[in-house]
Amino acid sequence: MRYAPGKDARWLLLRPWIYLPRLFQIIWALTGLVVSLLLRGRSKDSEVQRKLARTLLRTLTNLGPCFIKVGQALSTRPDLIRRDWLDELTKLQDDLPSFDHAIALQTVEEELGAPVEQLFEDFPDVPVAAASLGQVYKARLHGQHWVAVKVQRPNLAFILRRDMVLIRTLGVLGAPFLPLNLGFGLGEIIDEFGRSLFEEIDYYCEADNAERFSALFADNPAVTIPKVERLLSARRVLTTSWIHGTKMRDRQELKAQRLNPPALIRTGVISGLQQLLEYGYFHADPHPGNLFALSGQTGDLGHVAYVDFGMMDSISNSDRLTLTGAVV
């Protein structure tokens, strides 16, 4: 469950029947994508750009979790990606194809030690969302209490270990041919990405993160953190209270729910600065799929809920004070 690039590389090199077909698949897919972008990327035709965006989405989705994570990061960067591509890439946040429901039920039973019929009063046949590493069900506990049950995709540790070795190899070999701002330190960037991925697939770690994050905002009525159901959580299954809110993607949808976008933005900015400059512990994956707008308002602050605490990070006191001094 730990990222170890050297050890993982030795493990994979001894298994050419695993890495050779996968390496060919990755190179083939990325080559086709690059050719499409080079040939049609400068087109002014909006329909051409929509097709390119769908090609990018399809390529990343087909290549699996590691590449989907890269696409998720790009989906929040309008400074790097064309605005008309972002709508397609946001589908990588929680609108991916789900895996087989029977496998999800088997994972729950293996991890929690009992069938879902005993653990939940109502457990649906279809997830409400599917992301790169797992899918989420809206289930009901005994007593009418609704919860979100996140179930990890099958065989995930193997897939991540295999693909991270190949991505790192291709990245290090290709770095000298990239522009300086992209190629410099690419190996270290990939290693940081790999470490965060392996932390993210340990749901015990995510449960600890959620409870620590919740304690920081315990006295803040504008920020809501779902409660972890420890008895229904394990390494590959995480159960938390259900958040009844509106995803912070579409301004018109927020207005239709009688929510106040400027107040929500204010809460998002202030809570983000608190995490970075006051607490030194922050949510490292705050894309729109992980932020919900809630009803109500406290003064000029809208009510916001954070979810998905797989990617968290800390900043040292010295760096935090340096940043604070710079802002002041």
CA distance between the termini of the chain: 41
User: How many angstroms separate the CA atoms of 284 and 287, rounded?
Assistant: 9
Q: Which of 8, 285, 313, 319 is catalytic?
A: 285
Element (H, E) at 66: helix 65-74
How is residue 289 annotated by DSSP? G
- The structure tokens 């969302």 sit at 129
Tell me phi and psi for residue 78, to 5 degrees.
-65, -15
Q: Do residues 155 and 11 lie in contact, with contact meaning Cβ atoms separated by under 8 Å?
A: no
- The residues, ordered by sequence, that sit 6+ positions from 195 with a Cβ below 8 Å of its Cβ are 3
Catalytic residue status for 319: no
- Strand order, beta sheet including 291-298: 223-224, 301-306, 291-298, 246-247
Neighbours of 243 (CB within 10 A): 16
Residue 226 burial (C-beta neighbours within 10 Å; 0-12, 13-18, 19+): buried
Half-sphere exposure of 215 (CA within 13 A, CB side): 7
Which residues are annotated as catalytic? 285
